[in-house]
Amino acid sequence: MNIISENTAFGGMQGVFSHESQVCGTEMTFAVFLPPQATERPCPVLWYLSGLTCTHANVMEKGEYRRMAAELGLIIVCPDTSPRGADVPDALTDWQIGKGAGFYVDATEEPWSRNYRMESYITEELPALIAKSFRVDMDRQGIFGHSMGGHGAMTLALKNPGRYKSCSAFAPIVSPSTSAWAQGAFTKYLGADQSVWRKHDACALVEDGARFPAFLIDQGKADNFLEDGLKPWLFEEAVKDTDIDLTLRMHERYDHSYYFISTFMDDHLRWHAERV
């Protein structure tokens, strides 16, 4: 693991690191915030998954999580959204496919399957590296994210309910199988058989029996992508006759930006702290 930067913040440490990923077949970069409590004892960890076109840096620079994470004693890990590198396949004319758009799935179709294995990276390789490198209580994990990252957080929680104690999302893509934002990427990464997509679709996973105790979702009503890409009401309908506790909050005037995310970041960190 290579240290790119380390900075003191709110008594803790904000670091950026890189490593050679065997899973993705390229160098991967990620950010970690260690609260001051991590110098004394293992702390719970929250995985923050970013949205389309983002890297680890977007939430690190604009998410405003450090003050509350330091207060609550939470480690925040911010992975990248896809593999990177000169030899990694990309779609230069489509921002919804390729670099910055890994969708947190393990691609099965060429040429994407050689590098785009973000589900295994997030759930297996990176956690092993974090556990080895930092004072982390791996029995106390939560996961959250924004947009494409909200999709990733919700699907990974539904598929790994024994691993994650909590899950929340900002403006998530809850039904990528029907979302204009995701259908092209799913076709490229997973093939044209839409029955395969169901394992990577929060609404379909619930319909097929997957369960997770509770979700917190915040969504701006002024989000330009609400109708075509996000559609949180579909998840509300999917969980209606289940024991899943959904808190869906719709906010007037808020859009899809980090102004929205930073406004409600403290609420999400408190939500996770109560559960991890």
Burial of 126 (0-12, 13-18, 19+ CB in 10 A): buried
Chain centre distance of CA 159: 14
Indicate which residue of 147, 166, 168, 175 is catalytic: 147
How far apart, in Å, do the first and last CA atoms of the chain sit? 27
**How is 77-113 classified by DSSP, letter by letter?**
EEE-SS--STTS---TT-TTSBTTB-TT-B--STTGG
Rounded to 10 degrees, what is the CA torsion of 5, 10, 11, 16? -20
Catalytic residue check, 146: no
How many residues are listed for the chain in this entry? 276
Indicate which residue of 56, 175, 223, 268 is catalytic: 223
Catalytic residue check, 228: no
Indicate which residue of 146, 151, 200, 256 is catalytic: 256
Angle CA 257–260–262, to nearest 5: 105
Catalytic residue check, 147: yes
Number of other residues whose CB lies within 10 A of the CB of residue 195? 8
Query: In 14-99, which ranges are continuous DSSP H helix?
Result: 57-62, 66-72
Q: Using the CB atoms, write b or e for 91-115: b if 16+ within 10 Å.
A: eeeeebbbbbbbbbbbbeeeebeeb
Q: How far apart are CA 250 and CA 232, in angstroms?
A: 9
Q: How far apart are CA 210 and CA 225, in angstroms?
A: 26
- C-alpha closest to that of 148 among 198, 81, 76: 81
Positions marked active-site: 147, 223, 256
